[in-house]
Amino acid sequence: MNIALIAHDKKKPEIINFTTAYGDILKKHQLYATGTTGKKIMEASGLDIVRFQSGPLGGDQQIGAKIANEEMDMVIFFRDPLTAQPHEPDITALLRLCDVHQIPVATNMAGAEIMIKALERGDINWRKNKKEMKDQV
């Protein structure tokens, strides 16, 4: 699966802890991240990550393009809801694309742990199910 990893500045330590704790699961998948988040995760965990621009410089939009092109399967985005973000419209657009394209998205540690455990068990077959639903219409 193609998994995007994003974190606001105050949430970067959390996503680093998350990716380190679940590195054995994540390393089996293609990982993508916004610039600074990806760099910090790679340094801390050793995971191989395709890095886009930093979020405020267009990284969120680059991930959004992957979603729109059906090239992203899951988004883990540790958001900081207590700090204003200068690129809030980009964040809103990214979350909207997840909803439009039925991409599972977790915006905090609890949701991310549920998704990663489901991924490990093989519970996440949504893309196959989505294709079957389209074929039936």
Q: Are 35 and 62 in contact (CB under 8 A)?
A: no
| 60 catalytic per annotation | yes
* Catalytic site residue from 24, 48, 60, 73: 60
3-class DSSP state of 77: strand
Contacts with 45 (C-beta within 8 Å, 6 or more apart), sequence order: 16, 19, 20, 23
Confidence at residue 126, expressed as pLDDT on a 0 to 100 scale: 63
Confidence at residue 133, expressed as pLDDT on a 0 to 100 scale: 57
Per-residue pLDDT tens listing for the chain (137 residues):
999 999 999 999 999 999 999 999 999 999 999 999 999 999 999 999 999 999 888 999 999 999 999 999 999 999 999 998 888 888 999 999 999 999 999 999 999 999 999 999 988 876 665 556 566 66
Q: Tell which CATH classification among 3.10.560.10, 3.90.1150.10, 3.40.50.1380, 2.100.10.30 matches the domain 2-136.
A: 3.40.50.1380
Q: Is the pTM of this model over 0.85?
A: yes
Residue appearing with tokens 């997840």: 98
Amino acid at position 57, single letter: L
In Å, how far are 82, 87, 135, 136 from 4, measured between CA atoms?
Answer: 22, 18, 27, 29
CA distance 64 to 104: 13
For the chain, domain boundaries: 2-136
Confidence at residue 85, expressed as pLDDT on a 0 to 100 scale: 86
